[in-house]
Amino acid sequence: MSTPLWDKGKDVDVIVQRFCAGDDVVADRQLFPFDVEATSAHVLGLARIGVLSGAEATQLTTLLTELQARFADGRFVVDERYEDGHTAIETFLVQEAGDVGKKVHTARSRNDQVLVALRLWLKEQLRAVVDVTSSAARSALERARTTGATAMPGYTHLQRAMPTTLQAFFLGHVEGFLDSRDAAQAALVVVDRNPLGTGAGFGVSLPLDREGVSAALGFADVVVSPQAAQNSRGKLELFALQALHLATLDVRRLAWDLSLFVTAEFGFARLPDRFTTGSSLMPNKRNPDVVELLRALPAVVEGALAETQAVLSLPSSYHRDLQATKAPVLRAFPRALQGLALIPALLDGVEFDAVALRAAITPDLFATDRALELVVAGLPFRDAYRQAAAEIPTLGGRDVDGSLQARVSLGGAGNAGLDRLERRLNESNSAV
């Protein structure tokens, strides 16, 4: 293992060092490109205040560009030789540039490094959540447009409740995905502030160009208070994970709907073949494995939330416990985004049986319509409710399409608001 950045010339207990490092080397592979990017911006910032010469800054940024390339194609590996990714960067620069490489950590803490790299990484992840929830909403919106007024039973408590349409079903998922997109955008506002330059939590005695470094890294603003920068560890990850969790909950609800609809007992829908698998024993089986795994998608995020929250019973400023907030978020986002990315194609490909859907609309589902007809005729609602309940055996033969078109309140089958949701989707796109 390389010499740790905090080494002061004393012997280092390898067993203790490995315990303290934990899985940081593995976790830091995801953060490494962002750590290198932030290091380059820091170097240029040091040059602007005269701590590094122009030639030194050029040498270091050229080496950092080379390091990015080597890491990308596998020629440089962040492995057990290093305590963490931060150590790997400085070790490389010192090996390649000698004493000039030793200057890179001027006015910077590893706390700085992990915070800025994590925020840059989270920005990328949250933008991916924004993109994929938008794509899912757009696919669901298109299915709502093409399915039109295809009638189906609506459910509460998994019991048939009232007639509705496939359009209304899909629009419900459109709006859910748009809400989750808004949550991811809100989390982006919190994440999009640069902590680099706050040091170990107390600022530094150099006039760092924090605004210039922030602009170079594409941040919208800076974290002003050094203590607030340190206190954001864990809390920052929770903002992002909570937004991700909402999106996976949308996926779980959709997956549950499809799980039920494709059963022989419901017989409402058929999944695309590529979203199913077979049994190793039973030749007759087409198993909805993808949908079932999508139902489990929130679990990895919920685990990460619990793990992160459990660490945050700490006083202000940095504590080494906070290292444990890194791995959960780095684990949750890739898996959840992998599942979220499947949703547009799943929505595009699922097939519905319009005949079976309409056949499942039984006479009792018109009871609420009948109660409201009686209200319009002048009967108080509670009396109308009781009369409609008594009339359920006589409600057969009612016009399904007429019932649906009579649902004229905004969002109802006769006034679905599809164009309104499309405007919201396009406005969200323009805000990204």
Query: If DSSP codes are grouped into helix, strand and coil, which group holds residue 283?
Result: coil
Both 409 and 367 in a single domain? yes
- Does residue 133 belong to any structural domain of this protein? yes
Both 89 and 126 in a single domain? no
Both 262 and 380 in a single domain? no
Q: Which residue, of 303, 334, 359, is where some domain finishes?
A: 359
- The answer to whether 383 and 291 are in contact (CB under 8 A) is no
Both 258 and 326 in a single domain? yes
- Does residue 286 belong to any structural domain of this protein? yes
- Does residue 6 belong to any structural domain of this protein? no
Both 376 and 227 in a single domain? no
Beta-bridged to residue 222, according to DSSP, are 194
Query: If DSSP codes are grouped into helix, strand and coil, which group holds residue 334?
Result: helix
Both 199 and 217 in a single domain? yes
Q: Is 279 a catalytic residue?
A: yes
Both 119 and 240 in a single domain? yes
Query: If DSSP codes are grouped into helix, strand and coil, which group holds residue 143?
Result: helix
- The answer to whether 338 and 134 are in contact (CB under 8 A) is no
Which residue is catalytic, options 40, 109, 134, 157?
A: 157
Which residue is catalytic, options 53, 279, 316, 319?
A: 279
| Number of domains observed in the structure of the chain | 3
Contacts 24+ apart (CB under 8 A), 370-377: 370/395
- Does residue 232 belong to any structural domain of this protein? yes
Structure confidence at residue 202 (pLDDT): 92
CATH number of the domain at 283, please.
1.20.200.10
Amino acid identity, position 340: L
Amino acid identity, position 168: A
DSSP secondary structure code for residue 98 in this structure? G
Q: Can you point out the beta strands (E) in 115-254? A: 151-156, 159-165, 193-194, 221-222
Using CA atoms, how far apart are residues 77 and 412, in angstroms rounded to an integer? Answer: 57
- The answer to whether 224 and 193 are in contact (CB under 8 A) is no
- Does residue 1 belong to any structural domain of this protein? no
Both 97 and 115 in a single domain? no
Using CA atoms, how far apart are residues 38 and 42, in angstroms rounded to an integer? Answer: 6
- Does residue 430 belong to any structural domain of this protein? no
Integer angstrom CA distances of residue 12 from 28, 78, 297, 336: 22, 20, 42, 39
Both 97 and 182 in a single domain? no
Q: Could you give the angle at the alpha carbon of 327 between the alpha carbons of 325 and 331, nearest 5°?
A: 125
Helix axes 326-340, 297-311, angle to 10 degrees: 160
Q: Which residue, of 341, 359, 377, is where some domain finishes?
A: 359
Here the tokens at position 234 are: 């864990």
- Does residue 9 belong to any structural domain of this protein? no
Structure confidence at residue 4 (pLDDT): 56
- Does residue 89 belong to any structural domain of this protein? yes
- The answer to whether 143 and 390 are in contact (CB under 8 A) is no
Mean pLDDT of residues grouped by 10 in the chain (432 residues)?
Answer: 54 61 73 96 98 98 97 91 88 96 95 94 98 98 93 96 96 98 97 95 95 97 95 94 98 97 96 90 89 96 96 88 90 97 97 97 96 97 97 93 94 94 82 48
DSSP secondary structure code for residue 117 in this structure? H
DSSP secondary structure code for residue 277 in this structure? B
Both 257 and 354 in a single domain? yes
Using CA atoms, how far apart are residues 211 and 108, in angstroms rounded to an integer? Answer: 15
- Nearest CA-CA partner of 240 in 317, 326, 310: 326
CATH number of the domain at 86, please.
1.10.275.10
Both 331 and 205 in a single domain? yes
State which residues form the domain around 26: 14-106
- The answer to whether 134 and 175 are in contact (CB under 8 A) is no
Q: Which residue, of 333, 359, 385, is where some domain finishes?
A: 359
Judge residue 38's burial from the number of C-beta atoms within 10 Å of its C-beta, 0-12 exposed, 13-18 middle, 19 or more buried: buried
Both 298 and 375 in a single domain? no
Q: How many CB atoms lie within 10 A of CB 242?
A: 15
Using CA atoms, how far apart are residues 177 and 134, in angstroms rounded to an integer? Answer: 7
Q: Which residues, 6 or more positions from 225, have their beta carbon under 8 angstroms from its beta carbon?
A: 198
